[in-house]
């Protein structure tokens, strides 16, 4: 992978989007799936707290991508579009399943998935990753979500703000809190971080 | 670090959101004390931790997804290749589900391809390197190892036949509803356009339908794969094993089909000789181009160039066997998996072997038509 592409996943998504829309390229579609499905599923999971539901939601979204492949280029920002779709679908399913009151950022159960981490990573690195994971887990729910969307799903501040109905300033603030808390947690051996 | 401004700037920098002014500001602020600088570095280091994805699980998830797509009437190929370039790095993985998402029951299904199609073609007299035969119903042209040949079909289509190949067509070629030929080995086609009469090439594992275009078909029965490479125009490829499904190629793509699945096909297919084709039954890939040229490797043989890029010695040996009409014997098996790059145009066998030895280090001995590798 060229380093330019690695640093610019949005460009790659645009490329793949083009391939799917214009050539109905199944290879590109699969690549889109590989990139987007995990993020979408995890995001849906944070709202629905159901693995089964979140998988269906993510799969439905990607199915839609194929169904509307001929009009796919009309979508400016595919990633954000799908995330918003995931949010709506997740909230709707929540309502349907009567899983609780209105969706609010504080009700989220965000998970940092470490089950499928590449086992070939060195033990040292692994330990660090686990420490970070634990620290992230201890972040307040909305802070945690924002951290994940920024770091792992690589959404832009503007995109996160739009997705969660927040201001960019809030994103700035939340991320700075996240970094500070994780850094603090890493420096204190065996710390059990208190939620604040 | 109590200065919140630093944290905000740092977060921006790590997320790629910082402007150059902000980056500058961050630099200055962190330079205030070694402590601060150290913290900034540390944060940056764990932010960039990327454990990497478990693609096996994603593959299985994708198959499950395809099943759901089938239920809605969409039948996508189970194994289009995903090049490394296409996998955008992301360390998130789907949360495993037990529900109605059928991950478990979907593994690579074994598709076994069989049948040897042979064909006969009608033809004008040719130099001795090429054998032509005519029967009442059909005609055949064949080349032996070490020889290549160019043929003109009755409709004006040009066919370059590579070494050790055979092409056949029936006398109906010019009159039937479509123009049909049968191929074993390798040939490059420059098909005359005729929408009313599609040109169809039958090989052992696949049929290729063409309207008027330039492309290469490689279907040696002893090879691991059958390949169709498209230079210009468009072709549709049908697998004999699944005729309902067709693959459309765009220019500069090639379709590679594994001829046989190894016995442990139910698990991950790892083929050491073809690592790039490791997990797929069928792949569509871009053509490989010789460095610094616009000659694609797949059809370079038509220009009398033998080329290979990142191919294992054992695969290259097959190519060279046909090209030079020799027999390779690997006395030391380890050289079989050595990866080679090269292209030979006018080189003799001796020159080619010398060049390869120089770049890799193996030893060889030529005895008549036999080459032994130590």
* String of DSSP letters for B141-194: EEE-TT--EEEE-TTS-EEEE-TT-EEEEEGGGGTSSSEEEEEEEEEEEEPPP-
Give domain limits for chain B.
4-47, 52-107, 130-286, 305-373
- Identify the band that residue A57 occupies on the pLDDT scale cut at 50, 70 and 90: very high
Q: 3-state class of B43 per DSSP?
A: helix
Q: Is B250 in the A-facing interface, judged by CB distances under 8 Å?
A: yes
Contact A179 B96 (CB under 8 A): no
pLDDT at residue number B108: 24
The residue among B31, B84, B88, B27 whose CA lies nearest residue B277 is B84
Per-residue model confidence as pLDDT tens digits over B190-222: 888 877 788 888 888 888 888 667 888 888 887
**Least confident residue range of A65-79, B21-35, B99-113, B296-310:** B99-113
**A with B: how many residue pairs have Cβ under 8 Å apart?**
184
pLDDT at residue B115 above 50?
A: no
- Identify the band that residue A149 occupies on the pLDDT scale cut at 50, 70 and 90: very high
pLDDT at residue B300 above 50?
A: yes
Average pLDDT over residues B228-241: 77
Residue A156 with chain B: CB contacts under 8 Å: 15, 17
Burial class (CB in 10 A: 0-12, 13-18, 19+), B276: middle
By CA distance, what is B1's nearest residue in A? A180
pLDDT at residue number B10: 92
- Please count the other Cβ atoms lying within 10 Å of the Cβ belonging to residue B371: 20
**Least confident residue range of A119-133, B170-184, B224-238:** A119-133
Phi and psi based region of residue B52 (left: phi greater than 0; alpha: psi -120 to 50; beta: remaining) = left
pLDDT at residue number B92: 42
Residue A56 with chain B: CB contacts under 8 Å: 99-101
In chain A, CATH 1.20.140.160 covers 104-196
pLDDT at residue number B48: 80
pTM (whole model) above 0.95: no
Q: 3-state class of B337 per DSSP?
A: helix
In chain A, CATH 1.10.1740.10 covers 1-101
Shortest CA gap B113–chain A (Å): 23
Residue A12 with chain B: CB contacts under 8 Å: 86, 88
Distance CA A179, CA B262 (A): 49
By CA distance, what is A50's nearest residue in B? B97
- Identify the band that residue B2 occupies on the pLDDT scale cut at 50, 70 and 90: low
Shortest CA gap B326–chain A (Å): 38
pLDDT at residue A120 above 80?
A: no
Contact A27 B101 (CB under 8 A): no
pLDDT at residue number B105: 30
**Least confident residue range of A31-35, B104-108, B340-344, B345-349:** B104-108
More confident residue, B97 or B224: B224
pLDDT at residue A4 above 50?
A: no
| HSE of B314, CA atoms in CB hemisphere, 13 A | 16
More confident residue, A190 or A181: A181
More confident residue, A7 or A116: A7
pLDDT at residue number B50: 67
**Facing residue for A52 by CB, picked from B17, B83, B101:** B101
Average pLDDT over residues B16-32: 89
Per-residue model confidence as pLDDT tens digits over B347-372: 888 888 888 887 788 889 988 889 99
Contact (CB, 8 A) for A21 and A73: yes
Q: Domain B130-286 classified CATH 2.60.120.1440?
A: yes
Distances (CA, A) of B343 to B10, B91, B285, B290, B310: 50, 39, 21, 8, 12
By CA distance, what is A132's nearest residue in B? B46
Per-residue model confidence as pLDDT tens digits over B42-67: 888 888 876 666 677 788 788 888 88
Burial profile A54-90: b = 16 or more Cβ within 10 angstroms, e = fewer: bbbbbbbbbbebbeebeebeeeebbbbebbebbbebb
**Least confident residue range of A15-29, A161-175, B95-109, B324-338:** B95-109
pLDDT at residue B103 above 70?
A: no
β-strand B199-202 against B179-190: which pairing, if any?
parallel
Contact B76 A29 (CB under 8 A): yes
Shortest CA gap A165–chain B (Å): 19
**Facing residue for B90 by CB, picked from A125, A152, A172:** A152
ipTM confidence score: 0.82
Q: Best of A11, A14, A180 to disrupt the B interface by mutation (most B CBs within 10 Å)?
A: A180
**Least confident residue range of A99-108, B93-102, B143-152, B282-291:** B93-102
Tell me, rounded to whole angstroms, the distance of Cα B117 from its chain centroid. 22
Contact A172 B8 (CB under 8 A): yes
As a whole number, the mean pLDDT across chain A is 81
Residue A129 with chain B: CB contacts under 8 Å: 49, 51
Q: Domain A1-101 classified CATH 1.10.1740.10?
A: yes
Which residues does A103 contact at the CB level (< 8 Å), separation at least 6? A47, A90, A91, A94
The fraction of chain B above a pLDDT of 90, given in percent, is 7
Contact (CB, 8 A) for A47 and A103: yes
Residue B25 with chain A: CB contacts under 8 Å: none
pLDDT at residue number A65: 95
pLDDT at residue number A84: 95
Correct CATH for A104-196 of 1.20.140.160, 3.30.428.10, 1.20.1250.20, 1.10.3720.10:
1.20.140.160
Which residues does A67 contact at the CB level (< 8 Å), separation at least 6? B72, B74
pLDDT at residue number A81: 95
pLDDT at residue number B91: 39
Contact B95 A13 (CB under 8 A): no
Q: Which fold, B305-373?
A: Phage tail protein beta-alpha-beta fold (3.55.50)
pLDDT at residue number B94: 44
Highest-confidence range of B18-22, B117-121, B234-238, by mean pLDDT? B18-22
Contact (CB, 8 A) for B161 and B151: yes
């Amino acid at each position: 992978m060229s380093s330019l592409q690695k640093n610019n996943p949005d460009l790659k998504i645009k490329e793949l989007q083009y391939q799917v829309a214009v050539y109905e390229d199944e290879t590109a579609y699969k690549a889109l799936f590989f990139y987007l499905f995990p993020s979408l599923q995890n995001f849906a999971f944070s709202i629905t707290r159901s693995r089964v539901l979140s998988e269906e939601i993510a799969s439905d979204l990607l199915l839609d991508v194929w169904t509307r492949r001929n009009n796919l280029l009309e979508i400016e920002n595919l990633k954000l579009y799908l995330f918003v779709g995931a949010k709506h679908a997740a909230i709707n399913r929540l309502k349907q399943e009567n899983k609780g009151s209105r969706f609010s950022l504080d009700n989220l159960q965000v998970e940092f998935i470490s089950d499928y981490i590449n086992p070939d990573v060195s033990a040292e690195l692994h330990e660090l990753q686990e420490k970070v994971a634990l620290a992230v887990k201890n972040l307040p729910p909305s802070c945690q979500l924002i951290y994940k969307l920024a770091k792992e799903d690589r959404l832009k501040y503007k995109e996160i703000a739009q997705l969660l109905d927040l201001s960019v300033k809030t994103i700035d603030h939340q991320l700075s809190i996240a970094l500070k808390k994780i850094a603090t947690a890493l420096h204190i051996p065996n710390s059990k971080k208190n939620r604040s | 670090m109590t200065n919140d401004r630093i944290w905000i700037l740092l977060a921006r920098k790590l997320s790629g959101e910082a402007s150059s002014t902000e980056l500058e500001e961050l630099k200055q602020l962190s330079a205030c004390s070694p402590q601060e600088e150290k913290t900034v570095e540390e944060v940056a280091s764990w932010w960039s931790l990327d454990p990497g994805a478990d693609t096996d699980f994603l593959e299985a998830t994708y198959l499950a997804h395809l099943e759901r797509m089938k239920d809605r009437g969409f039948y996508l190929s189970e194994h289009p290749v995903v090049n490394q370039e296409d996998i955008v790095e992301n360390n998130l993985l789907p949360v495993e589900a037990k529900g109605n998402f059928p991950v478990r029951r979907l593994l690579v299904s074994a598709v076994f391809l069989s049948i040897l199609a042979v064909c006969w073609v009608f033809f004008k007299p040719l130099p001795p390197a090429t054998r032509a035969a005519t029967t009442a119903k059909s005609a055949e042209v064949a080349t032996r190892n070490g020889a290549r040949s160019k043929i003109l079909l009755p409709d004006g289509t040009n066919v370059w036949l590579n070494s050790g190949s055979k092409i056949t067509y029936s006398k109906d070629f010019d009159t039937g509803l479509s123009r049909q030929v049968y191929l074993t080995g390798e040939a490059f086609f420059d098909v005359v356009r005729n929408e009313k009469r599609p040109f169809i090439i039958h090989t052992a594992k696949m049929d290729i339908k063409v309207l008027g275009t330039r492309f290469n078909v490689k279907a040696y029965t002893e090879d691991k794969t059958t390949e169709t490479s498209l230079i210009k125009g468009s072709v549709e490829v049908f697998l004999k094993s699944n005729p309902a499904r067709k693959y459309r190629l765009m220019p500069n793509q090639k379709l590679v089909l594994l001829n046989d699945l190894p016995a442990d096909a139910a698990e991950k297919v790892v083929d050491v000789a073809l690592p790039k084709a490791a997990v797929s039954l069928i792949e569509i890939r871009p053509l490989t181009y010789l460095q610094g040229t616009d000659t694609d490797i797949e059809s370079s043989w038509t220009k009398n160039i033998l080329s290979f890029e990142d191919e294992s010695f054992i695969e290259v040996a097959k190519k060279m066997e046909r090209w030079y009409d020799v027999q390779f014997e690997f006395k030391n098996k380890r050289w079989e998996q050595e990866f080679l790059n090269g292209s030979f145009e006018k080189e003799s066998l001796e020159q080619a072997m010398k060049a390869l030895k120089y770049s890799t280090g193996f030893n060889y001995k030529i005895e008549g038509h036999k080459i032994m590798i130590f």
